[in-house]
Each structure stands twice: as C-alpha cells, then as structure tokens.
Amino acid sequence: MKFLLTKELGRLAKWLRILGYDTLYFNQDNLSSLIIQALRDNRIILTRNHRLPQSRGVKILLIKAERIKEQMSEFLKTQKLEPDSGKMFSRCIICNEELVGIDKEKVKDKVPEYVFKTQEDFVTCPKCKRIYWRGTHWGNVEQTLKEVI
C-alpha cells in the first residue's frame, strides 16, 4: 500500500515514513498533477482538502483530525493497519528511500562521538546519505505510538 499526502499533511507524511510506509508528499497546489501521480503510482491520496476533485480509480482518504496523533490514529484505523516494528525506521524520513545497512567503521566521522561509542547498527539513505541509528528517536516513537493505538 502506497500513499500520497497533500501539503497540509507534512507531519503525517514524516510519521508514515517512520512507520515504514511508502509515502510521497505533494507540496504543490496543482491538483490535477496530484491525481495523475496517484493514478500512475497507484497511491492512496491522504488529504484534508474537501474540494479535491473525485476522479475515477483514485482512492482518497479525507483526514478529519487536526492534531498529528489523532491523524495517525485515524489513518491506521481507516486503513486497518497496525504498525509493524520490524518495518519502522526502514525509510528515510526526508526522501522516502529505503534505508540500507552501513558498516560502523564507515560512519565514524559522520555521527557524534557518543553515538559511535554506544551504537552498533547504522543505516543510511542511498539518496541523501543521511545516517540513522536505532537510538535516535526510538523511545519517542514508541511512546507516541502507545498513545495513538
């Protein structure tokens, strides 16, 4: 299942990526190219825009909640999805690319010293080269998810 979020849902887009869902963020006003992209990639559109034109074959999920946690729970409920901890942090939060493992030695000069000393597993984004490790926001994410589910 793949998603395309309109521009007022930027925070939700980041969260869906944290959860591992293939999520694109559409930050333009051109609604017809939004529809075209959804059709081409077979993506479900998530939006708060009531005036989005209905188009054959396009699935649109209108998000009613205003707060991010309520938006997440609305999304998970309507899509009947349960976050899978094995998929979390598998995508770049910025680019949506799938993260790949990287040797610890290769990140030595790219992460803070204490991180290098305390973490063993690192992953990187093939596109933007950002480096992620489990410790980053793991605790916060688990806490937020508990509140959401």
Smallest distance from Zn ion to CB 1, Å: 21
> What is the bridge-based pairing of β-strands 2-6 and 22-26?
parallel
Which residue do the tokens 């597993």 mark? 121
CA dist 75 and 72 (Å) reads 5
Q: Does 92 bind Zn ion (CB under 5 A)?
A: yes
Q: Give, in degrees to the nearest 5, the angle at Cα 87 between 128 and 63.
A: 85
Residue range at the interface with Zn ion (CB under 5 A); choices 18-26, 36-44, 63-71, 117-125: 117-125
Candidate list 62, 94, 100, 149; residue touching Zn ion; CB under 5 A = 94
Candidate list 128, 134, 143, 149; residue touching Zn ion; CB under 5 A = 128
Q: Which of 16, 3, 78, 76 is nearest to 46 (CA)?
A: 3
Candidate list 24, 31, 61, 95; residue touching Zn ion; CB under 5 A = 95
Compute how many residues bind Zn ion; rule: CB under 5 A: 6
Smallest distance from Zn ion to CB 142, Å: 23
CA dist 112 and 97 (Å) reads 23
Smallest distance from Zn ion to CB 124, Å: 8
Residue range at the interface with Zn ion (CB under 5 A); choices 48-56, 70-78, 109-117, 121-129: 121-129
Q: Which of 79, 11, 18 is nearest to 45 (CA)?
A: 79
Binding site for Zn ion (CB under 5 A): 92, 94-95, 125, 127-128
